[in-house]
Amino acid sequence: MDKVNVLGVDFDNKSFQQFQNEFIGKINAHQSTLVVTANPEIVMATNENPEFMKILKYDADYITADGIGIVKAAKYLGNPIIERVTGYDLFTWLMSFANERNLRVYLIGAEPSVIEATKAKIIQEYSDIQLVGARDGYFKEDLELVAYQIERTEPDLVFAALGSPKQEQLLALLRKNLLPALMMGVGGSFDVFSG
């Protein structure tokens, strides 16, 4: 089955490798692509927040099963999912890919010290990435203005680490505006990556 529904969320039933191949295609074609890596907390949150559910239904291009709880629930419901695909694993792979291809990357989220440490690591270890933005996640501006500021940097990849649903709300604005980038919410990934 192509999609597996768990509590109203349609997960893409693909392996990590299949996601990689599809994302490479989207990036090469400069197609606006929103990836949501949904863990059990996100699934529960969408069931309580209709606006968040709408983003997953109408704006997300891919939804991965980010957590063994989702994989287990799918099996229990009789529609097994191929494998767990975490946001962190996709993030680190996409950063290596961006480095190989010299892509333009925008990062937003986490505490100021964490985003600084993330930036330092990229400059050291991913020096072929064009880092077009690295901004902390405690801004005062509204999401529309922040989205506009991101768009102006013309990124190929956008990673938002603001927690859910805020990160998906920001990225959904960019997706609606058809920003030709691959965008993904990555939760606490900058904290782990920089630590």
User: Contact residues for ligand UDP (CB under 6 A)?
Assistant: 109-111, 137-138, 161-164, 166, 187-188, 190-191
| Nearest residue (CB) to ligand UDP, 27 versus 157 | 157
By Cβ distance, which residue is nearest to ligand UDP?
Answer: 137
CA dihedral 9, 15, 17, 19 (to 10 degrees): -10
Q: Please report how close the Cβ of residue 4 comes to ligand UDP at its closest, in angstroms.
A: 22
| Nearest residue (CB) to ligand UDP, 27 versus 147 | 147
| Nearest residue (CB) to ligand UDP, 63 versus 162 | 162
Q: Please report how close the Cβ of residue 156 comes to ligand UDP at its closest, in angstroms.
A: 22
Q: Please report how close the Cβ of residue 184 comes to ligand UDP at its closest, in angstroms.
A: 12
User: Which of these, 150, 156, 87, lies nearest to 128 by C-alpha position?
Assistant: 156
Per-residue CA distances from 98 to 103, 133, 155, 156 (Å): 5, 14, 11, 9
* The Cα angle at residue 164 between residues 162 and 168, in degrees rounded to 5: 85
CB of 129 closer than 8 Å to CB of 155:
no
Q: Please report how close the Cβ of residue 163 comes to ligand UDP at its closest, in angstroms.
A: 3
Question: DSSP strand E in the chain: where?
Answer: 3-6, 9-12, 33-38, 62-65, 104-109, 130-135, 157-161, 182-185
| Nearest residue (CB) to ligand UDP, 2 versus 142 | 142
Q: Reduced to 3 states, what is the DSSP secondary structure of residue 80?
A: coil
Q: Please report how close the Cβ of residue 166 comes to ligand UDP at its closest, in angstroms.
A: 6
| Nearest residue (CB) to ligand UDP, 83 versus 191 | 191
Distance from the Cα of residue 83 to its chain's centroid: 18
**The residue to which tokens 């191949």 are assigned:** 21
Q: Please report how close the Cβ of residue 128 comes to ligand UDP at its closest, in angstroms.
A: 25
| Nearest residue (CB) to ligand UDP, 24 versus 45 | 45
